[in-house]
Amino acid sequence: MFWTLKLASQLLDAPWPANKDELLDYAIRTGASEAVLQNLQELEEEDEIYETIEDVWPDYPRKDDFLFNEDEY
């Protein structure tokens, strides 16, 4: 399973929380790329509930991971 920001962004508006089947259904309905579908098919548990994209891709960068000063904007 290989995730990038571009691939993960295709799931940001998914109906969280969701299980594997619901995420696959959402990805198919929204025309997600084949790589996203393959990554979702490789998820381990069928019945596990994923609360956010971080549950699917633990290395998903959070706002804290970026080094910029919001006070400047």
Q: What is the tens place of the pLDDT at every residue in 25-53?
A: 999 999 999 999 999 999 988 889 999 99
- Domains identified in the chain, total number: 1
Asked whether the predicted pLDDT for residue 68 surpasses 60, the reply is no
Asked whether the predicted pLDDT for residue 54 surpasses 60, the reply is yes
Asked whether the predicted pLDDT for residue 63 surpasses 70, the reply is no
- pTM here is 0.81
Cα(63)–Cα(18) distance, integer angstroms: 23
Whole domain around residue 54: which residue ranges?
5-72
Residues, the chain, total?
A: 73
User: Residues near 39 by Cβ (< 8 Å), separated by ≥ 6?
Assistant: 1, 2, 3, 7, 56
Both tokens assigned to 59? 């290395």
Cα(30)–Cα(10) distance, integer angstroms: 8
Say which residue, 42 or 66, is predicted with more confidence. 42
Q: Which pLDDT score, from 0 to 100, does residue 47 have? A: 87
